[in-house]
Chains A and B, each alone.
Chain A
Amino acid sequence: MKPLLIQTVTVLVFAAVWEAVAESGLLFAGILPGIGEILRAAWVLASSGVIFPHLLVTVHEASVGFVFAALFGIALGLLLGTQPFLRRVFEPPLLYFAATPKIILYPIFLMLLGAKLESKMAMAAVSGFFPLVVNTTIAAAGVNRVFLKVARSVGASRLQTFAQIYLPSMLLPVAGGARLGIGVSLVAAILGELKVSNAGLGFVIMESFNHFRIPEMYAGILLTFLFAAAVNVAMTLLLMRCRGFAHESAR
């Protein structure tokens, strides 16, 4: 209970300071509208249904991108994690790439795939790929050698070894990578929308900004934030289920 209380108080204090600064007139009212005004704009965006097609677009971009990220990331991670030579060759450049902001590739995607959803999907895919491939590689390479020897000593086939040893051993770290990956895919899709787009949460924010509808811009930011937080909570719950499966599934 205590952490929840502190979290609530923190949010309220933040809101109070915001409101005080907005009311004080220290800043131009157009730049920092009051909380009431922002909530009203958010309510209009939500209740009129204007925001939902945009939300759907963002979800669509991020999820398609993430599926590609997961497919390629896990496949390559398995390969690198189980083949020490390939890992030695390809892991270092992969880590350098992982540390580079993927947005630098955006102009290329815009040229190749256009300004619509596909270029954001590509951004989401490339961005989400890295946490998955890195985590999967580490997870596959980290499978307990003794477990593999046990499997070999009872004549387990390759498929059995994969299903009965690799899979349960890797479940948690790969799920952790997936959680990071979904977050990163979402960030990448919205980043793409902020730059060049005609739909999506990022587009709503930039449109409001360009037309100086500042309360609506804040409302867009707030709704995007709430959505990202909801995705994170959902992933955390999913991860806890995984942990339950990996550890004490029977009870």
Chain B
Amino acid sequence: MKNGTPILEVRNLSKEYSDFTAIDNVGFEVYRHEFVSIIGPSGCGKSTLLELIAGLVPRSSGEVFIQGVAVNNGHSSIGIIFQQESIFPWRTALENMEFGLQMQGVPQDERRRKALEMVELMGLGGFENRYPDQLSGGMKQRVAIARALVMEPEILLMDEPFGALDEQTRIILGEELLRIRQEIGQTILFVTHNINEAVQLSDRVVIMTARPGKVKTVIDIDLERPRTSAVIPTEKFGRLVGEVWMQLREEALKSFKQAAR
């Protein structure tokens, strides 16, 4: 899996604000078809890290490479999904999915065709002409994912995309995400604070320290693929969750004390 040029390479990335350092010298790679999660204690700058990579926040130092090419202000081949509700209430599900293509000047019938393919892939059939206020939270997030995937990004960045959903919906959508990933071979970088979710979904889990955020260690998740949520009761799953937690525990305690101060 880890051969050739990585799809995404992050090198010595830092972000300093006037009064604190959010991200300190972070580096890692994501290879084609890989699912990598970033997990860290709350306030460690996970979301900032994703927005730095996506070019939505100016970085203080460091470099980001997409297939070996340095990118500065984001890149059309980086898709991003946010934790907050992000689909436009004034557009139907289908029109939401067409948004990115429309901004790039893709003709109406071509973007409609591509969006309809996404409806198929995401299992949104019958909901494509609904407005967001007629969709459940899970459906809305599916639309957001479709809106990013329709751009055929080299890598999809996901910032706690299921964080606002209930546990069961979260597990089901995670399973869906794995199925879609399998179907189109999508490379994904996924931020979460949920250990179970990170283990359920990932090939590798990058563990970050408490603020300032650094890479503490990387854990390989050697659970078989294709994978469903039926992996959750296995012994190996439990052991991996335990392993991630033992790495995270110290950092979570530190972060807890930082917050108390």
Interface residues of A (CB under 8 A from B): 146-147, 149-157, 160, 164-165, 168-169, 246-250
Report if B8 contacts A (CB, 8 A). no
CB pair B86 A155 closer than 8 Å: no
Which chain A residues lie closer than 8 Å to B92 at the CB level?
250
- 18 contacting pairs across A/B (C-beta < 8 A): A146-B82, A146-B85, A147-B88, A149-B56, A149-B86, A151-B103, A152-B56, A153-B74, A154-B76, A157-B103, A160-B103, A164-B102, A165-B88, A168-B90, A246-B90, A247-B89, A247-B131, A248-B131
CB pair A164 B54 closer than 8 Å: no
Which chain B residues lie closer than 8 Å to A154 at the CB level?
76, 99-100, 103-104, 151
A-B contact count (CB 8 A): 54
Which chain A residues lie closer than 8 Å to B103 at the CB level?
151, 154-157, 160, 164
Report if B30 contacts A (CB, 8 A). no
Is the contact region of chain B dominated by helix, strand, or loop, or is it mixed? Answer: loop
Which chain B residues lie closer than 8 Å to A156 at the CB level?
103
CB pair B89 A153 closer than 8 Å: no
Report if B45 contacts A (CB, 8 A). no
CB pair A147 B131 closer than 8 Å: no
Report if B12 contacts A (CB, 8 A). no
Is the contact region of chain A dominated by helix, strand, or loop, or is it mixed? Answer: helix
CB pair A247 B133 closer than 8 Å: yes
* Complex Cα–Cα for A249 and B92 (A): 10
CB pair A168 B88 closer than 8 Å: yes
Which chain B residues lie closer than 8 Å to A146 at the CB level?
82, 84-86
Which chain A residues lie closer than 8 Å to B88 at the CB level?
147, 165, 168
Known A155-B76, A250-B92: A150·B82 in contact at CB below 8 Å: yes
CB pair A153 B56 closer than 8 Å: yes
A149-B56, A155-B103 provided; 10 other pairs, C-beta below 8 A? A146-B85, A150-B82, A153-B54, A153-B80, A154-B99, A164-B99, A164-B102, A168-B88, A247-B89, A247-B90
Report if B129 contacts A (CB, 8 A). yes
Report if B213 contacts A (CB, 8 A). no
Which chain B residues lie closer than 8 Å to A155 at the CB level?
74, 76, 103-104
Report if B78 contacts A (CB, 8 A). yes
Which chain A residues lie closer than 8 Å to B51 at the CB level?
149
Which chain A residues lie closer than 8 Å to B174 at the CB level?
none
* Complex Cα–Cα for A168 and B56 (A): 22
Which chain B residues lie closer than 8 Å to A160 at the CB level?
103
Which chain A residues lie closer than 8 Å to B54 at the CB level?
153
Report if B40 contacts A (CB, 8 A). no
* Complex Cα–Cα for A20 and B120 (A): 73
Report if B41 contacts A (CB, 8 A). no
Which chain A residues lie closer than 8 Å to B161 at the CB level?
none
Known A155-B76, A164-B99, A247-B131: A147·B86 in contact at CB below 8 Å: yes
CB distance from A158 to the nearest CB of B (A): 12
Report the nearest A residue to B100, measured CB to CB.
A154
CB distance from A210 to the nearest CB of B (A): 53
Which chain A residues lie closer than 8 Å to B76 at the CB level?
154-155
* Complex Cα–Cα for A247 and B100 (A): 20
* Complex Cα–Cα for A151 and B88 (A): 11
* Complex Cα–Cα for A247 and B95 (A): 13
* Complex Cα–Cα for A154 and B103 (A): 7
| Residue from B76, B86, B102 with most neighbouring chain A CB atoms (10 Å) | B86
* Complex Cα–Cα for A250 and B91 (A): 9
* Complex Cα–Cα for A3 and B199 (A): 59
Report the nearest B residue to A154, measured CB to CB.
B100
* Complex Cα–Cα for A154 and B104 (A): 8
Which chain A residues lie closer than 8 Å to B100 at the CB level?
154
* Complex Cα–Cα for A165 and B96 (A): 12
Which chain A residues lie closer than 8 Å to B74 at the CB level?
152-153, 155
